[in-house]
Amino acid sequence: MAAMLGLLVPGVAHAAPPPNDDFHQATSIASLPFTTTQSAVEATTAYDDPADCHGFHQSVWFTYTAPADGVLVATTAGSDYDTILSVHTGYRGALTQVACDDNGEEGTLQSRVEVPVVAGTTYHLMVSAYPWGPVGSLTFGVTGWPGTPPPANDAFDHAERVTSLPHTADASLAGATEEPGEPESRCGKSTRSLWYAVTLPETTPVVVAPTWGIPRFEVYTGSQLKDLTEVTCAWNGGVSFRATGGTTYYLRVADVFDSTSASFSIAAARPIRAGFSYLPGAPSTFTDVGFTNTSTVPDTPGPVTVRWDFGDRTTADTGDPRHRYAADGDYTVTLTVTSEDGRTGSASQVVRVRTHDAAITRFATPAAAVVGETKRVTVRVGTTRYAEDVTVTLHRATPSGWSEVGRYTQYVPASATGGVAFPFNYTFRPDDAALGKVNFRAVATLAGTPDAQPLDNEAISATTAVQQPTTTARQAADSLDVA
């Protein structure tokens, strides 16, 4: 019976992949303009789909044979999922990528490429979803302009002139070429490039930054293509350089990852905002001061140099140095930050070094006492550098720890030899006699400032013997104190 029921249950239907799911079943584009909308939800991934353009996932294919030289523009604008678009020549298993884009339709997750095409060449266009992302409805369009000439600034001798800042540009690399003799940048090779000649009236730190797309920037000096000297370059991101007034700098904008269009800006680099912090906030001659560089250097991908002047005729060139001052004083610390393009920023702060150091120089306690008897406990405190307001706290030892007896605050003048006595009167207790003894602990603290050497701010007394109040015990305690 169970077997019969199993035979009667219908199978689950699976939608078929789109007709152009595989390279060999690519949709042929006979003429331009071309546009189509299709579902890519059931698209699959072939093991040999090219993965050089940001990976691949559930791809569909289109093919176009150019009837004439020109420019081909393909876009996935209007699709409802994140697309990747790449263009290839050759045949299956030996494809050569000529264009690649992800999110080239500005402000969207859709793609756009501009490809220079050669008459009679077949171009294979693959649209895939971003790896592991959702797939939905694809809108795909292709247009073209046969016989489109290269951009006006395709050649070095026709570089677009830039004489003032800021300057923005849209770089269409689709029809651009690489003329013979173009320099090979240390940032890599390219197949298409455009030229810009930047000549400014005054020396200016300059930053070139992409506003969308992934162009490569190269900056050169020289007057002819054959004698150019590279100043700087970046294959992903912006560049900055110091443009000397009256000198022409040639900016070469080249393709990266077969990109065909981009926009960028040329502007004066923003100033450096130098700053630093330090700890501790109240250092002494016994502590290292740790300095932290908090500077902001905008508009530069390159390295910066730092120089610290600690105000005591010593300097350092490290990022976050540590420094110990040999004497108390007010030291003006200056941090100077210099960027690769010549910008400089500095910041200064006054570091106040004060070595406050009080010490307990004497701790006098009675040798013996009896319960109920009040005797003097004296703590003497001295300071040799600055007059201080000092509080002495007196504690007595108990089985559970130290218990405060009292505290006394007074002014202690600076003196090389003297000190100030802090007198306490202590009445001995029955629990002292139960232990047969008592010890005292004195702790001296400064008002409003830390002590540079706190270890000598604390002392523990000699043991005082304590007995119950008998005539013999009282006489013995008095004799010990006299002794």
Over residues 28-56, the pLDDT tens digits come to 999 888 999 999 999 999 999 998 888 77
HSE value, Cβ hemisphere, 13 Å, CA-based, for 353: 20
Residue at 245 is within a domain: yes
Which has the minimum average pLDDT: 41-45, 144-148, 212-216, 385-389?
A: 144-148
HSE value, Cβ hemisphere, 13 Å, CA-based, for 78: 11
- Does 425 share its domain with 391? yes
Q: How far apart are CA 416 and CA 382, in angstroms?
A: 8
> Residue 226 — φ and ψ, nearest 5°?
-80, -15
Share of the chain above pLDDT 90, in %: 70
Exposure of 27 by Cβ count < 10 A (0-12 exposed, 13-18 middle, 19+ buried)? middle
Place of tokens 């789109």: 18
Q: What is the mean pLDDT of the chain?
A: 90
- Does 388 share its domain with 469? yes
DSSP 425-446: EEE--HHHHHHTEE-EEEEEEE
End residue of a domain, out of 316, 337, 353: 353
- Does 135 share its domain with 179? no
Q: Check residue 190 and give its pLDDT.
A: 80
End residue of a domain, out of 268, 289, 315: 268
Look at 475 and 84; give whichever has higher pLDDT: 84
> For residue 256, which of 100, 450, 456, 430 has the smallest C-alpha distance?
100
Residue at 195 is within a domain: yes
Q: How far apart are CA 31 and CA 42, in angstroms?
A: 27
Tokens of 137: 């409805």
Q: How far is CA 471 from CA 98, 140, 436, 478, in A?
A: 112, 113, 17, 11
- Does 137 share its domain with 190? no
CATH classification at residue 306:
2.60.40.10
Q: Check residue 200 and give its pLDDT.
A: 98
Instruction: Report the chain's terminal Cα–Cα distance, integer Å.
Output: 115
Q: How far is CA 382 from CA 236, 415, 455, in A?
A: 66, 7, 14
- The 10s digit of each residue's pLDDT in 147-177 is 667 788 998 999 999 999 999 998 888 778 7
The top-scoring range by mean pLDDT among 70-74, 109-113, 177-181, 458-462 is 458-462
- Does 79 share its domain with 138? yes
Q: Apex CA 39: angle with CA 37 and CA 42, to 5°? A: 155
- Does 42 share its domain with 74? yes
- The 10s digit of each residue's pLDDT in 272-300 is 999 999 999 999 999 999 999 999 999 87
- Does 168 share its domain with 142? no
Q: Check residue 4 and give its pLDDT.
A: 41
Tokens of 249: 């700098």
Contacts of 117 (CB under 8 A, 6+ apart): 66, 69, 70, 71, 72, 123, 144
Residue at 284 is within a domain: yes
Q: How far apart are CA 447 and CA 43, in angstroms?
A: 77
Q: How confident is the model at residue 76 (pLDDT cuts 50, 70, 90)?
A: very high
**Domains of the chain: total:** 4
Look at 388 and 131; give whichever has higher pLDDT: 388
- Does 256 share its domain with 209? yes
Report whether pLDDT(194) > 50: yes
Q: Radius of gyration over alpha carbons of the chain, in Å?
A: 41
- Does 165 share its domain with 239? yes
CATH classification at residue 255:
2.60.120.380
Q: Check residue 2 and give its pLDDT.
A: 40
Place of tokens 């560089």: 293
Look at 8 and 217; give whichever has higher pLDDT: 217
- Does 315 share its domain with 253? no
Residue at 3 is within a domain: no
Q: Check residue 260 and give its pLDDT.
A: 67
Q: How far apart are CA 256 and CA 274, in angstroms?
A: 34
Residue at 424 is within a domain: yes
Residue 36: domain span: 23-146
Residue at 183 is within a domain: yes
Q: How far apart are CA 112 and CA 96, in angstroms?
A: 18
- Does 363 share its domain with 349? no
Tokens of 178: 């690489």
End residue of a domain, out of 105, 127, 146: 146
DSSP 342-382: S-EEEEEEEEEE----EEEEEEE--SEEETT-EEEEEEEEE
DSSP 373-392: -EEEEEEEEEESSS-EEEEE
Residue at 7 is within a domain: no
Q: How far apart are CA 50 and CA 98, in angstroms?
A: 12
DSSP 162-210: E-SSSEEEEEE-TT----TT---BTTB--S-EEEEEEE-SS-EEEEEEE
* CB count in 10 Å sphere of residue 237: 13
- Does 136 share its domain with 206? no
Report whether pLDDT(265) > 90: yes
Residue at 151 is within a domain: no
- The 10s digit of each residue's pLDDT in 336-376 is 999 988 899 999 999 999 999 999 999 999 999 999 999 99
Report whether pLDDT(13) > 50: no
> Residue 156 — φ and ψ, nearest 5°?
-55, -45
